[in-house]
Amino acid sequence: MDLEPSVAVAAEAEPDSPIVATAYGPVRGFRAGKTSMWRSIPYAAAPVGSLRFRSPQAPESWDDPRDCTEYGQIAPQTIGKVPIDPNLTPGEDCLWLNVWSPATDGEPRPVMVWIHGGAYCLGTSAQKIYDGRLLSELGDVVVVSMNYRLGALGFIDLSSFSTPDHIFETNLGLRDQIAALEWVRDNIAAFGGDPGAVTVFGESSGAGSVTTLMTSPRAAGLFHGAIAQSSPATSVYGAERGASVARRYLEIAGVEPADVGRLYEMPVMEVIAASDALSDETSANAPGTLAAAPVVDGDIVPGYPVAAFKKGLSHRIPFIIGTNEEEAALFRFIKSPLLPVTPDAVNAMLRGIAEDHPDLSPERLAEIISAYPDVAKAKGAMAISTDAGFRMPSLWVAEGHSRHSPTWFYRFDHATPMLKAARVGASHGTELPYVFGNFGTLNVDPTFWLGGRKTALEISGRIQRRWLAFAAHGVPAAIDGSKHWPPYDEAKRLTLLIDTADAVVADPDRSLRETWGDEVLGFS
């Protein structure tokens, strides 16, 4: 979605109700401490009616200041699966973003654009944990967070069933993200941001979006640095698999291929209910895979991202990537089927890997399994799942990118005493409050029941200062005596281990990395 560059500037307004003019019309926000905030600014039209399964389109313009002090509809999803304010309402008018800014005048500030996670089917930028105020104030940066379409509306590839009357486009969630980044390019200067200094960052499927966008020609030039926290980089599927998933989706939705246009007319929550059912079925029948995920379409996603990184086809920008020490433990704790955490489920996942990679010999697979002595127990199963889903793909991505651009690799190892006692540890998503500085955002948050707040706040400060230095300078500089973090390369593989005291270690997962090699899940 291309727009004419905006030359709008901040309009006069009351100090507590800042008004900024965008390419589509003025928006009124509010002050929170030292920061101005605008919620639910539309970056695209509501994808309803004939736009439901199409690329995002520009919103209609408006003349009077639009109130942007409350959150609007969030992407349709089943509420209750992730921590979301129950007052938020799912709906299709969800293509909006939020902005936090220290000031709308003076020198342009670096911009950080957040892409939330949620397995491509859950979540919203309105979650309290993603509030960007503290990050904006600490770093004197403009923070942006976006919504995008999820589940069947955003990441199930129905394009093989398109007809002249009803067209279904690919990778709609990624198209939404690109449209949001185009809005940032064209409008963020009016909010005090520098459109030439944009860092995109995300976690889980948000990080998977980051690594995918880093190989998308359509996203080239829209951001100038990237941070990927726990990216499932290999959860991108081919067109044939995408068509198979779409066929099963139609069966669950009760829609005949000849009558596919019904999907444009179905109540939106029925569309989502069918994709939820498909997601559960996929997790049960093919552990370790997702029903809703990006697909290789030759356009937005020209090829498998991991292969693109290996071939040197990722955008030439500075890059931070890393994982958490015990990613899979969260999925065991919340009893989520999205990641296999039992020996049976992990064995099924490994059989699926072997089927998808016929060149992978039984001996090679056995060698990988033998590297995990507790594979018959939950501990070993979770270790394999962590490495297959997050750690190894992230290492492969770092290897490829480091051959041509500055790259930094980390492993988040810290867990509070309570999280250790609950056997959650440094699991998937536990670094999020450290990045944003937002602790206690759950209705019942046990994080500090056994202490550890002071240490956590110190670690949070270090992470935030590194992320902010990266956004400002393209280097996660050591600040306030923090451990120097050298770039990653294939010779030394220096990795920052984030814990009570940070440490830089050469190739900390060497034996497992060498056992896996770089061909098992890398796709060619």
Neighbouring CB atoms inside 10 A of 61's CB total 9
Q: Given the residues 40, 204, 279, 405, select the one marked as catalytic.
A: 204
Q: Which of 178, 126, 121 is nearest to 153 (CA)?
A: 121
Which backbone phi and psi does 266 adopt, to 5 degrees? -60, 145
Of the candidates 100, 153, 148, the residue with the CA atom closest to the CA atom of residue 123? 148
Whether the Cβ atoms of residue 42 and residue 35 lie closer than 8 Å to each other: no
Q: Taking the C-alpha atoms of 250, 255, 256 and 259 in order, what is their torsion angle to the nearest 10 degrees?
A: -120
- Residue 97 in tokens: 């973003």
Reduced 3-state DSSP string for 362-391: HHHHHHHHHCCCCCCCHHHHHHHHHHHHHH
CA distance 155 to 171: 6
Specify whether 427 is catalytic: no
Q: Is 116 a catalytic residue?
A: no
Torsions phi, psi of 485, nearest 5?
-115, 100
List the structure tokens of 446.
Answer: 């046990």
Tokens 């770092």 locate to 398
**Residue 400 to residue 5: CA distance in whole angstroms:** 34
> Cα–Cα distances in Å, from 420 out to 230, 426, 452, 457?
20, 8, 11, 17
Q: Give me the phi and psi of 407, to 5 degrees please.
A: -135, 140
Instruction: List Cα–Cα distances, 128 to 92, 191, 225, 440, in angstroms.
Output: 21, 22, 25, 9
Three-class SS of 10-28: EECCCCCCCEEECCCCEEE
CA distance 22 to 267: 32
User: In whole angstroms, what is the distance from residue 467 CA to residue 394 CA?
Assistant: 18
Q: What is the DSSP letter of 249?
A: H
- Catalytic one of 92, 327, 399, 431: 327
C-alpha to C-alpha distance for 217 and 219, rounded to whole angstroms: 5
- Find the catalytic residue in 116, 315, 401, 428: 428
- The Cα–Cα gap between 296 and 212 comes to 10
CA distance 363 to 374: 19
Q: Determine whether 484 is an active site residue.
A: no
Helix/strand/coil for 128: helix
Active site residues: 204, 327, 428
